[in-house]
Structure 1
């Protein structure tokens, strides 16, 4: 996201609030001079022995009123910038999520969850911090020094130049030390992404890790991520400490310039002692604001790193969609026509030709990496085909509206995802269905009896109960039955179920697959013996297809796979 886009986002979410916030900050900055001026006037009157009680109370009252107005102005400015910041953060998060929803599903296979979490929360959070806090700080850091320099220059040009020398050095010198900081910020962001991803992986695999006595310190990916994160932090600290130290030392040594020159001017009668004192006071105010510029600068570098990550996602092209529709009750044929697909430069599928019709089960089999899963995923536009096409009723799926394609297809995966919500909501997935239809789908999925046995029935929260893999699988099948899509893709739906659940899942699948075009990604060959067409993939190509008995009689690739499966099965039984 370029700075222009950032300014546009701020403009669209609250331009006038930001302008008003900046004006209030400028007012606050202008009022900050008054207490110093009041102290100056009191000291002058003391030195001249003309200070009265009334004058002292007047300057005290002015200072008090100034403090009140400064508090009110900065509070209002902070409220306005925070309002804009929260709205901008909300809007940008929705924009990023909305854009991600339009990307091909393969994006989520390739992108780790830690990276997405970092972008959605940490990177966008930096934007909120910049708008809510840094805009006010930046305004103060610029307005106060500029105003003070003008005032000081009017009072005494020569002494003002002396004051400016450490100010300029304190800002310019550290910048040279910060050239590599943006690169380090990017590394820091990547280290957080990897730490989040490895933490998620460790939590998800905690049962397996405990079985093998692998603690957090022995989990190499996690320990490596922690070390990288810590080392990056240390490197950033080392790099930022030097410029910050330079800034502090140079600015704090400003009196080495001011006092000798100011003293000389005083001895020559060119300035009064009170004026010299005022210069000393105001220069400290000037330098404190200049010091904050360094912190703001570092924050802006981190912001730019976060915005680059956001821009990387927003720059991705969404799924190509058309404006055609096909009713799921009218689907007559699913066709793979000269389909080719490359992932980066690696050829995954080459010249795939296949026709699937309703009331048929087509099984995709092959070794790992043969292309069977990719071929099935292309039906749902996980990726876009490099050449050729997948057609429904003769219409390229790229010409269909995305909503129409999603309505036509259902995927039942091996690993099931459950919302942290009720079982009812997990079946409907946010769509509007009558309760009768939901119950009917649950009955056909062989999960209704289990649901009603729970204390709260369909309203039971998933977080409050322990669901087996088979039960989650049947809830997933109930979703697909309720959706009633014309094309169903199964990724070995019974592969992780126990014997007790497998029979129920098979019954559920019979209800799901009625009158459907079914694509089954098979890992266990015994589950697809009755398939209407078994398609054998090898190195991205279809090498043979047919019924189980036909393929065995060919004594080719499928026959070899079957022999290996039977041999492994017998060994497992023995």
Structure 2
């Protein structure tokens, strides 16, 4: 049976749960110290109103009242200190676990969940846990204990009078129950809308150059305006649906004196309620009912928090990619065999019964029209996705049986869109690998990027990223990416459209780097510019997910079929369809 979202949150407390327990204990003590002064005031009133002018012990009671007020402050500070230490430690733990877990998920997860939804879960929804753990858990303990202590004390003073306080409470709870009907569906809609809002904001920022080029503002971005409009309509509907119940509930809770004053006055005049007790009921009736008001507010915040926690849970409980713990190989030679491989994104077939042999140390180019399955085949070789039909083997071993770490250590990728850290060029090339400065510079020289780096004022210590003022061209980014591959020195490499964003000078340098890169490595090259792969060992032509042709450039040109057509459509292979 699936545990509740609240149990899920608390299960990640770990060692921090003891700090949470301490926070709750001090919160209960805070509630107790909050009540003690009222009891002492009652004793003082009894002494003063008892007649006879006796004031013995009043000074001592006043001193105890002051001490209770000081202890209340100390216990409150300790409760908040422990709860905040636990909260930020748990937030750190959950974020680290979530990021680590996402690294183990197949790319299919990120196709189904937008960047905005994931960002909201990791950032905003996790941050809400701080409010819950640091404030609402101790507040909840105090809000439960305070009315319980108050009603016990008031019953001990005069139980019929104490029953009057339950009348507004019962009606307030009935009103709140009506308000919370359908709340779960409302919270799910709220979470969905917030995720869409985050996604559209991210999309707008990413496409800001295009929007500016067409003189479009956020208001003219239809998807953004529609999402914000739906978000506004959602809150207006929520307000109208809950306003009457919420208002009635608050009025009833705030109406304690309306019941206490007349009822207590009648009992006092009849002599069945002492003046000191009457004053205590007037003072504590508001304390008793206001504690329930805090409970109602906590309930509303908790429902929103648990809806957000469900998003975090969706990430942490997503099925990770199956990983073989015991590796059959510590090093791969790169002999690749693809047998009857089929793959689909949701219901869209991308690859259909692909069969291909790639001998170790050879270079194979995948070409074909856009959408023919070239990039997908390259991603499957690195197990970014798992194919449900067919098999890929490396050195005769199914890649599903090779530990992911071993596969990643022995495989290198150069993607069409190069990712750059907001960090130094040195760290961008090293990318977490345990390599020396000399090794990094040697890799950069092989990638034909060393001279460019040294032309920069800070050389390898030049910081890349937003706000640095350093902008690299697409070709320069590609050469840094190629330097990473040289540094990794993997026997199997996949190159995806690495010259697509390059000018003539950068492309020439990339071609020089590629000649060195392909030596003694198994290489799969995905290309649109056919002249860049003219000299590879084997060219494979894909169309609609199937292999249509394969062979060397000369053989395929002689066949005068699809490859021949692509070559001349691209004016000598400069571009293909």
TM-score interval for Structure 1 and Structure 2 normalised by the shorter chain: over 0.9
Q: TM-score, normalised by structure 1?
A: 0.93
Seen in structure 2, the aligned counterparts of structure 1 residues 357 and 61 have a Cα distance that, compared at 3 Å, is same
> Is 2:9 the partner of 1:6?
yes
Alignment of 1:107-186 (within 5 A): 107-186=109-188
Change (3 A) 1:508 1:54: farther
Is 1:473 aligned to 2:475, yes or no?
no
Cα distance, 1:52 vs. partner?
A: 6.7
Deviates more, 1:498-507 or 1:358-367: 358-367
Unaligned regions of 5+ residues in structure 2, if any?
none
Answer whether contact 1:325 1:404 (CA < 8 A) is retained: no
Residues 1:96 and 2:101 aligned together: no
Q: 1:449–1:278: structure 2 CA closer, same or farther, 3 Å change rule?
A: same
Partner in structure 1 of residue 507 of structure 2: 502
Inter-partner Cα distance in structure 1 for 2:575 and 2:402: 47
| More divergent stretch after superposition (506-515 vs 191-200) | 191-200
Please tell me whether the aligned partners of residues 181 and 239 of structure 1 are also in contact (alpha carbons under 8 angstroms).
no
Corresponding residue for 1:416?
418
Between stretches 1-10 and 92-101, larger displacement belongs to 1-10
- Aligned match of 1:251: 253
In 1: Cα distance, 2:451 partner to 2:242 partner: 63
Using the TM superposition, name which of 424-433 and 368-377 deviates more: 368-377
Does 189-198 or 430-439 show the bigger shift?
A: 189-198
- Is residue 326 of structure 1 aligned with residue 332 of structure 2? no
Equivalent residue number for residue 83 of structure 2: 81
Q: CA deviation at 1:279?
A: 1.1
Alpha-carbon separation, structure 2, partners of 1:50 and 1:236: 60
1:66 corresponds in structure 2 to: 68
Please give the residue correspondences for 1:488-499 in structure 2 after superposition, counting only pairs within 5 Å.
Answer: 488-499=493-504
Q: Give, in angstroms, the shift of residue 195 of structure 1.
A: 2.4
Compared with structure 1, are the counterparts of its residues 51 and 59 closer, same or farther at alpha carbon in structure 2 (3 Å cutoff)? farther
Shift of 1:483: 0.6
CA–CA distance in structure 1, aligned partners of residues 36 and 327 of structure 2: 69
- Aligned-partner Cα distance in 2 for 1:568–1:480: 26
Could you tell me which of 299, 309, 312 is aligned with 2:311? 309
Deviation larger for 374-383 or 557-566: 557-566
Q: What are the within-5 Å matches in structure 2 for residues 200-215 of structure 1?
A: 200-215=202-217
When structure 1 is superposed on structure 2, of 210-219 and 103-112 the one drifting more is: 103-112
Quote the residue 1:517 is aligned against.
522
> Equivalent residue of 2:433, what SS?
coil
On the 8 A contact 1:340/1:351 being kept in 2, the answer is yes
Matching of residues 259-298 of structure 1 within 5 Å? 259-298=261-300
- Tell whether the 8 Å contact from 1:13 to 1:87 is kept in structure 2 after alignment: no
Change (3 A) 1:276 1:392: same
What SS does the aligned partner of 1:566 have?
Answer: coil
Deviation at 1:291, TM superposition (A): 0.3
Change (3 A) 1:509 1:96: same
Relative distance call for 1:52 and 1:447 in structure 2 (3 A) is farther
Distance 1:338 1:51, change over 3 A: farther
CA distance in 2, matches of 1:51, 1:428: 86
Partner of residue 462 from structure 1, selected from 461, 464, 480? 464
CA distance in 2, matches of 1:112, 1:51: 76
Q: Residue 561 of structure 1 aligns with which residue?
A: 566
| CA deviation after TM superposition for structure 1 residue 39, in Å | 3.4
Deviation string for 1:484-506 (max 9, x for gaps)?
11111111100011112111111
Query: 1:331–1:570: structure 2 CA closer, same or farther, 3 Å change rule?
Result: closer
Distance 1:478 1:106 in 2: 28
Residue 132 of structure 1: how far off its partner (Å): 0.8
Instruction: Please list every run of 5 or more consecutive structure 1 residues that lacks an aligned counterpart in the other structure.
Output: none
Partner residue in 1 for 2:537? 532
Q: Normalising by the residue count of structure 2, what TM-score does the alignment of the two structures yield?
A: 0.93
Following TM superposition, by how much is the alpha carbon of 1:335 offset from its aligned partner in structure 2, in angstroms? 0.9
User: How many residues align structurally?
Assistant: 570
Superposed, 1:271-420 pairs within 5 Å as 271-322=273-324, 323-328=326-331, 330-420=332-422
Change (3 A) 1:548 1:279: same
Describe the superposition over 1:180-237 as per-residue Cα deviations: whole angstroms up to 9, x where unpaired: 3333333332333222222222222222221111122212223233333333344444
- One of 224, 232, 256 as aligned partner of 1:222: 224
Residue 401 (structure 1) shift: 1.1
| Structure 2 SS opposite 1:362 | strand
Separation in 1, partners of 2:479, 2:238: 51
Contact 1:489 1:518 (8 Å CA) reproduced: yes
Per the TM alignment, residue 391 of structure 1 is displaced from its structure 2 partner at its CA by 0.5
Displacement after TM superposition at 1:267 (Å) = 3.3
- Cα 1:246–1:13, aligned 2, differ >3 Å: closer, same or farther? farther
Shift of 1:53: 7.1
Q: Within 5 A, what are the aligned runs for 1:7-22?
A: 7-10=10-13, 12-22=14-24
**Would you say 1:547 and 2:549 are equivalent positions?**
no
C-alpha displacement of 1:509? 1.6
Residue aligned with 1:340, SS:
strand
| 250-259 vs 484-493, greater mean Cα deviation | 250-259
Give the distance between the partners of 1:116 and 1:418, measured in 2 at CA. 20
Of 489, 497, 522 in structure 2, the residue corresponding to residue 484 of structure 1 is: 489
Report the aligned-residue RMSD.
2.4
Question: How many Å apart are 1:272 and its aligned residue?
Answer: 1.9
Deviations 1:503-552 (A, max 9, x none): 11111122222111111122233332333222222222212222233223
State the alpha-carbon separation in 2 of the partners of residues 157 and 267 from structure 1.
17
**1:46 Cα deviation after fit:** 4.3
